[in-house]
């Protein structure tokens, strides 16, 4: 499946009951072209769902700026750790 990460492609193939690491052929009997077309449609739908999910997607990291107090605390903690390691 072009233009997608292997993780998302594998997820779609697993939903379809297809081994994602298989070699695709153009033989009509194998039906691989239709499988790839269907997988592409499912991937498109997955992207649409993710776009409309907003910030409710679990497992994603949300970046927030650290306050000066947090930065100073982290530096102090790092120094303590360095002292303990010596």
Q: Using one digit for the tens of pLDDT, what is the confidence trace for 23-57?
A: 888 899 988 899 999 999 998 888 888 777 766 66
Query: Residue 79 and residue 19: Cα distance in Å, rounded?
Result: 50
Examine residue 35 and state whether it is found in any structural domain, yes or no.
yes
Domains in the chain, number: 1
Examine residue 72 and state whether it is found in any structural domain, yes or no.
no
Examine residue 39 and state whether it is found in any structural domain, yes or no.
yes
Reply yes or no on whether the pLDDT at 2 is more than 80: no
Examine residue 22 and state whether it is found in any structural domain, yes or no.
yes
SS3 readout for 19-81: CCCCCCCCCCCCCHHHHHHHHHHHHHHHHHHHHHHHHHCCCCCCCCCCCHHHHHHHHHHHHHH
């Amino acid at each position: 499946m072009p233009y997608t990460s292997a993780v998302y492609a594998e997820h779609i193939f697993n939903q379809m009951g297809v081994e994602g690491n298989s070699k695709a052929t153009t033989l009509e009997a194998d039906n691989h072209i239709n499988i790839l077309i269907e997988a592409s449609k499912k991937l498109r739908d997955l992207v649409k769902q993710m776009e409309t999910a907003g910030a409710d997607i679990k497992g994603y990291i949300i970046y927030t700026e650290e306050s000066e107090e947090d930065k100073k605390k982290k530096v102090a903690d790092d120094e303590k750790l360095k002292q303990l390691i010596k």
